[in-house]
């Protein structure tokens, strides 16, 4: 067959190659759409979409290096999914929480305040938490108690939380309020830095939190300014440190029990 014979097979169709003898490149996604063909010399971006930042995580059951964790969970990696890490939960919320949000805004307006007393509002798992600026806590608590549309008559407790990784916001105080009149619950939360652990007391508004603020001070070291008698309530008066902080060692006191001595947790046994 002569080189000029028109019936000569096309090397790129039946042999799967090109004129230079190389394999045809494998592609995915079919032919490019009309008008989207790459121009000669155009650079192709093969990096793909930008990945989100790595999710915060901690290692170990307690997340403290050198804590003497002997629970067997030293290799556990816990992903931090706490919703307080972000900003406010965008509205609209659930119907009941929407009504509550409107009532709170109206109550603040009637008291001569505005929504800027809050750092953010988080809705998660059917609960709503108002993050209050710490210097505005006393007046916000009075509004939540006294306004007829809110009427949160009871403060069920004050809980301390320690977030060592939140620089400038390491210590949190959480208040659970209950309205018997309207059958509602709401959370107020205040943050303060470890270097300035002061939060105004609300004992004058909710006298029952006297004991809770003392306990939070005892275990977390948060100082409630204006408390009538801020002393330890669980630990001895001369106890060093605050045992519920995450940077507090896991050591304990040896206890004698039926002739045997039980050592502190970090001396019982270790797991590699």
List, in order of start, the domains of the chain with CATH numbers.
91-264 (3.30.460.80)
Question: What's the confidence (pLDDT) of residue 271?
Answer: 52
CA distance 145 to 233: 27
- The pair of three-digit structure tokens given for residue 195, joined into one six-digit string: 């270097």
Question: What's the confidence (pLDDT) of residue 223?
Answer: 98
Return averaged pLDDT per consecutive 10 residues of the chain, 272 residues in all.
53 48 42 49 56 60 56 66 80 93 96 94 93 97 97 97 90 97 96 96 97 97 97 92 86 65 66 50
> What are phi and psi for residue 59, nearest 5 degrees?
-110, 140
- pLDDT per residue over 114-168, tens digit each? 999 999 999 998 999 999 999 999 999 999 999 999 999 999 999 999 988 888 9
Q: How far is CA 158 from the centre of its chain?
A: 18
Contact 154, 214 (CB under 8 A): no
pTM metric for this prediction: 0.69
Task: From residue 58, give the alpha-carbon distance in Å to each of 61, 68, 171, 241.
Answer: 9, 16, 18, 23
Helices (H), the chain: 95-110, 137-146, 209-220
Question: What's the confidence (pLDDT) of residue 85?
Answer: 75
């Amino acid at each position: 067959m002569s080189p000029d014979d028109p019936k000569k097979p096309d090397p790129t169709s039946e042999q799967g190659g090109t004129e230079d003898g190389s394999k045809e490149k494998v592609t995915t996604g079919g032919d490019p759409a009309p008008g989207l063909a790459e121009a000669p010399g155009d650079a192709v971006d093969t990096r793909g979409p930008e990945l989100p930042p790595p999710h915060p995580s901690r290692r170990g059951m307690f997340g403290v290096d050198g804590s003497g964790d002997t629970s067997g969970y030293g290799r556990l990696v816990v992903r931090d999914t706490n919703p307080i890490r972000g900003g406010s939960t965008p509205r609209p919320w659930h119907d009941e929480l929407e009504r509550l949000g409107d009532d709170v805004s109206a109550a603040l307006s009637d008291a001569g305040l505005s929504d800027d007393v809050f750092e953010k509002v988080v809705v998660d798992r059917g609960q709503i938490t108002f993050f209050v600026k710490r210097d505005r806590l006393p007046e916000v608590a009075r509004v939540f108690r006294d306004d007829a549309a809110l009427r949160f008559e009871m403060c069920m407790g004050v809980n301390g939380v320690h977030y060592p990784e939140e620089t400038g916001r390491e210590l949190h105080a959480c208040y659970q309020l209950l309205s018997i009149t309207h059958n509602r619950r709401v959370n107020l939360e205040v943050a303060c830095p470890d270097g300035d652990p002061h939060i105004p007391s609300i004992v004058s508004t909710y006298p029952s939190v006297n004991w809770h603020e003392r306990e939070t001070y005892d275990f977390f070291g948060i100082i409630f300014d204006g408390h009538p008698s801020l002393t330890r309530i669980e630990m001895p008066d001369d106890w060093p440190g605050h045992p519920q902080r995450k940077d507090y060692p896991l050591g304990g006191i040896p206890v004698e029990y039926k002739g045997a001595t039980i050592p502190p947790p970090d001396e019982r046994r270790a797991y590699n």
